[in-house]
Structure 1
């Protein structure tokens, strides 16, 4: 067929291929005119790509998408077909001009769900192969084209968030229990933790209240520590149950994630699958002894371990802390102490119920001052009282002597007067006798 003439160069271009293409196009039009959806044809695998297979239908090419090769999962079309392989396909769809033809291979066989054992039910055990992994779970093929999802929450009785890759990988052969089965929606959920007993079924007998054991620290919150006693059995140690004496602001001050910690079971919440645990309860409550040691008005040496705008936390010895308000912290010279300083503190309040010891440094020297002033006043008062007593004694002595003298003089006067009267009387008698004698 002449395809080009060049007059200038007196050149003619001819092509045999053009004749062949024309014949092929005519042949293609004949084939295309006869295509119908659902029609089954035989073709030859012409090309294989990662997304599908091109099949020559005798002058017309069609594409089998990777999802239409098999009811099961296909990683690459080469797993199903090979180049130049003759296969039967079904026409799924084509465009108006019939330039693109969608073919299917799996549609030539019944859907595997339709062939699934009708006796299979929830609770039955099945075996399969892990075909796809995701963080949230694993898809297990229990028959070609029939898959079930094992959610990560159904892989272990533990409530800790974990990835499905921690339990299995693609290619693993696993046994599982059917949890849900919907044949209409062709969905199935599976579980593997159901193959082992639920650890919470006999929790009351396995870990009764008062049980002492060791747990592993899993994570912290502001209000406590989450621990795991064994796979699937978790518990919470409230921050207030960590120590009898030390005020723990955050669990990170007390332990670390991954560490072991001794605990005692305080309460069982079977419904929410959680144990209330304690650590301080492993020891006797020391506050009875502390109450006698740190009585109100007793003075102790303490070390300031922490300061804030409200006051200072004071260490009074091993695991015993007190709090000194800011107004009670001032030193005798007017300065404020700092963290690490050792000072004397007076106990001004002791609360066994709230486990709180309130301290004062100010009172240790103010009361000493008051005591000195009181002593001075008492001394002065005593001296004054002594002086007054002496004066009083002297006055009393003087008064007593004066009165004595007055009494003595009165007696002397009376005696003298009596003597004078007697003498006068005697004289009168003598005179009378003389007169009588003379007569």
Structure 2
């Protein structure tokens, strides 16, 4: 006896039965199906989609945020079948997902054809807003809301309006739309029509719509034109707000129209007479007048001479003495100043002005107060490799060249005696007004020790202060420093210093010892070298002793006298002391 074998039906068997019952073309899970409303229970609609069980859908899903009516009993509706049966034995249905599926198909077609779609802004999110495109939710970036930033978006919420789809990604469920693109396209059409009715040179009325640092936007009745700040008035206008206010009615002239970009340039000053016409009849070179500083730049200051007429004081014409100083440290905005006209160029619409020309040239003034040869006093302002700069009265500087610091020492050595801030006296050597230079000297305050002078009776054996400054002359020297190699001495009565070598300290070798002498001691010596051109002097005690010995022998050492050499030298030294 055979038995028929039975087993529990599988999910595939159930699907096969459904397929037999409803046909292969019927939609199943994950698709949109048609159904009929068989009951309304509270806020839910019971829908029969032809399966053995019904499903429930919230009525609000059918109303589409209050824009559509709710379905009634017996109405046929389309819903999305998520699952055939849930834990309660009901079909899981969704009207929102059904509408979203329908919308995606329509939106993809519109995106391919670059057509506009209608939607409703219903919520604000980070970076923008969400838009309902008949069931599909799109993102509207804040930058794509309007042509200009919108402060209050409340009037745009929940209002059906057109959008342009910028990007779609069905796999990720992303849609990006733009309201700005639609407005720009509409505006471009309006602008084209308005621009076609305008012409360059035409005078039109407009309303100031917006003010910026560089100008004002004027509404010409549906299209904006730019009134640049330089075209508002002939005079300098630093900001349009000085002349215009938002909402003000103005009359302007159309200067230029760009038909490709629809940009319109406007002017107000063009409706007034140009103040630069016949400018040469009102301003002439060297004319002095007063004006008001309107603007300060790195290269100079602008001065308004009359409304619409400005001249430039270049930084080099602002001060006689303040070089490389910013103009703002010499004049200030709105300050009234006296200027002199240096140049008038009507073609370039430029007037060059000078400020320093209205003041006395400080080098001329200095020369009047301090003629060449006079003595001046000032403070060391700077030390350079070629000399000292001394600040003098009248806010001018004088320069002491290295060669004018000291008569006897090299300039490189003498300059070390000075430091910044020292007060010094000097003699005016030269004033070059044209080159703005003053030469002064410190050494000229003393006489040149090498200058030619009368030496008195030649051949005198005695030494004198200041001495007989010639080769062979006898001078008195003061010991400044005792060294192993000799003595550093100064010729009394002069600024001359020299060095007596060890072998020139005495005639006798045993007396050629520097330690025999002390600082401050005065000794007599004979000049063995005196070169004015090379400014060199050399003295020798040994040479003086040898000369005195010869002179004594000649005077006291005759053969008939019978005197010894000691007697002769003693007599010579005695005569020398008496002469001193």
Whole-angstrom CA distance in 2 between matches of 1:146 and 1:286: 65
Q: Secondary structure at the match of 1:235?
A: strand
Q: 2:393 aligns with which of 219, 230, 236?
A: 230
In structure 1, the residue matched to 2:321 is 158
In structure 1, the residue matched to 2:269 is 106
In structure 2, the residue matched to 1:355 is 535
- The higher-RCO structure (CA 8 Å, 6+ apart) is 1
**1:38 correspondence with 2:201:** yes
In structure 2, the residue matched to 1:392 is none
Q: Shift of the alpha carbon at 1:176? A: 1.0
Are residues 299 and 235 of structure 1, via their aligned partners in 2, closer, same or farther at CA, if it must alter by over 3 Å?
closer
Note the alpha carbon deviations across 1:154-193, whole angstroms, 9 max, x for none.
Answer: 3333375544333212221111111222222221121222
In structure 2, the residue matched to 1:196 is 359
Q: TM-score, normalised by structure 2?
A: 0.48
In structure 2, the residue matched to 1:96 is 259
Q: Secondary structure at the match of 1:249?
A: helix
State how many pairs are aligned: 341
Q: Shift of the alpha carbon at 1:55? A: 1.3
Residues 23-422 of structure 1 aligned to structure 2 (within 5 Å): 27-114=190-277, 116=279, 118-158=281-321, 160-200=323-363, 206-231=369-394, 234-249=397-412, 253-257=416-420, 259-286=422-449, 300=479, 302=481, 316=489, 322=498, 351-356=531-536
Contact (CA 8 Å) 1:239, 1:250: kept in 2 or not? no
Q: TM-score, normalised by structure 1?
A: 0.62
Contact (CA 8 Å) 2:466, 2:475: kept in 1 or not? no
In structure 2, the residue matched to 1:400 is none
Note the alpha carbon deviations across 1:229-264, whole angstroms, 9 max, x for none.
Answer: 333755332212112344331775243445543121
Q: Secondary structure at the match of 1:54?
A: strand
Whole-angstrom CA distance in 1 between matches of 2:294 and 2:269: 18
Contact (CA 8 Å) 1:302, 1:316: kept in 2 or not? yes
Note the alpha carbon deviations across 1:372-424, whole angstroms, 9 max, x for none.
Answer: xxxxxxxxxxxxxxxxxxxxxxxxxxxxxxxxxxxxxxxxxxxxxxxxxxxxx
Q: Which consecutive residues of structure 1, in runs of 5 or more, have no partner in the other structure?
A: 305-311, 326-341, 365-439
Contact (CA 8 Å) 2:118, 2:162: kept in 1 or not? no
Moved more, 86-95 or 113-122: 113-122
Q: Shift of the alpha carbon at 1:25? A: 6.2
Whole-angstrom CA distance in 2 between matches of 1:322 and 1:194: 53
Whole-angstrom CA distance in 2 between matches of 1:146 and 1:27: 40
Q: Shift of the alpha carbon at 1:113? A: 1.5
Contact (CA 8 Å) 1:220, 1:251: kept in 2 or not? no
Whole-angstrom CA distance in 1 between matches of 2:265 and 2:254: 6
Q: Shift of the alpha carbon at 1:270? A: 4.8
Q: Shift of the alpha carbon at 1:15? A: 3.6
